[in-house]
């Protein structure tokens, strides 16, 4: 794992992982949300990655801009100029007007300067050329030891393993599958990241991963009752839209009075 921070064990405080930044308080996947996540001391900031028409990596969850900006259309068919004009904040409130869809490089540079670790989800299948572009951004900004790449796509994770082996990887799953252990070994991942529903549906299978020392980051968990359940099972990270509230919840459990 190189200099990467070790994944928490089952008896220590799990990592607070801010889903799309602090998306409970600021526009998802924006610099404002990243800033807010950092302000509450999130251990990792999770964001989603897609490519523009010219192959530039941008932080955006959907394939289109329709839901989270004032612009419509598919990011994969857009120029950088058109993307840079989209307002990605006004939909949540006038105070966020002027937030942009950030480039990956901008986010990495921001974290390099102001602190923070990045859990970077690559959406869908990425070609070697596209992964190489991500690798270049991570290496140029000096962030290789502060990023974990995750994906549902085994193809993408395989490419990342071959091109940037020094950046740790996590395998995302909606519901755990029986042969996932073999897949995780083949991809040399450090973390196995099921949905909350998948975790509780196939808890025994996920616990096998935990026993072998894999990190387990469960997504996306916003209810204190479920935080409580996950704490009891010893997961190493909780991905949440409410990192500030989760920090308060964990402080009450783990920090000396």
pLDDT score, position 93:
94
Rounded distance between C-alpha atoms, residue 122 and residue 59, angstroms: 10
Question: What is the pLDDT at residue 11?
Answer: 81
Query: Domain segments of the chain: what residues?
Result: 15-65+101-254
- Residue 29 backbone zone (phi > 0: left; psi -120 to 50: alpha; other: beta): left
pLDDT per residue as tens digits for the range 6-48: 899 878 899 999 999 999 999 999 999 999 999 999 999 999 9
CB 180 within 8 A of CB 208: no
Look at residue 3 in the predicted model and tell me its pLDDT: 38
Query: How much is the mean pLDDT over the chain?
Result: 95
Return the percentage of the chain with pLDDT > 90, whole number.
93
Rounded to an integer, what distance in angstroms lies between the CA atom of residue 247 and that of residue 194? Answer: 21
| Position 5 confidence tier, pLDDT thresholds 50, 70, 90 | low
**What is 15-65+101-254's CATH topology?**
TIM Barrel (3.20.20)
Q: What mean pLDDT comes out for the span 217-244?
A: 97
Q: Which residue from 239, 248, 167 is spatially nearest to 199, judged by alpha carbons? A: 239
* Contact of 194 with 220, CB cutoff 8 Å: no
| Digit-coded pLDDT (tens) for 142-179 | 999 999 999 999 999 999 999 999 999 999 999 999 99
**pLDDT, position 1:** 32
Distance of alpha carbon 150 from the chain centroid: 7
* Two tokens, residue 80: 């950088």
């Amino acid at each position: 794992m190189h200099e990467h921070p070790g994944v928490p064990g089952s008896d220590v405080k799990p990592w607070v992982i801010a889903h799309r930044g602090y998306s409970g308080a600021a526009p998802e996947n924006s610099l404002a949300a990243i800033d807010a996540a950092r302000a509450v001391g999130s251990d990792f900031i999770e964001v989603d990655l897609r490519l523009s028409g010219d192959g530039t990596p941008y932080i955006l969850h959907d394939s289109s801009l329709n839901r989270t900006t004032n612009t419509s259309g598919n990011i994969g068919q857009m120029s950088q100029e058109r993307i840079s004009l989209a307002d990605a904040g006004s939909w949540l409130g006038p105070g966020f007007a002027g937030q942009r869809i950030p480039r990956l490089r901008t986010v990495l540079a921001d974290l390099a300067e102001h602190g923070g670790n990045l859990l970077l989800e690559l959406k869908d299948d990425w070609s070697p050329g596209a992964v190489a572009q991500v690798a270049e951004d991570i290496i140029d900004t000096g962030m290789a030891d502060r990023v974990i790449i995750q994906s549902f796509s085994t193809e993408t994770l395989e490419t990342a393993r071959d091109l940037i082996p020094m950046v740790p990887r996590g395998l995302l799953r909606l519901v755990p599958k029986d042969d996932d252990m073999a897949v995780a070994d083949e991809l040399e991942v450090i973390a196995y990241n099921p949905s909350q529903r998948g975790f509780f549906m196939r808890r025994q299978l996920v616990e096998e991963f935990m026993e072998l020392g894999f990190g387990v980051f469960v997504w996306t968990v916003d209810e204190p009752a479920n935080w409580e359940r996950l704490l009891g099972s010893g997961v190493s990270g909780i991905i949440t839209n409410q990192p500030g509230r989760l920090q308060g919840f964990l402080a009450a459990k783990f920090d000396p009075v």
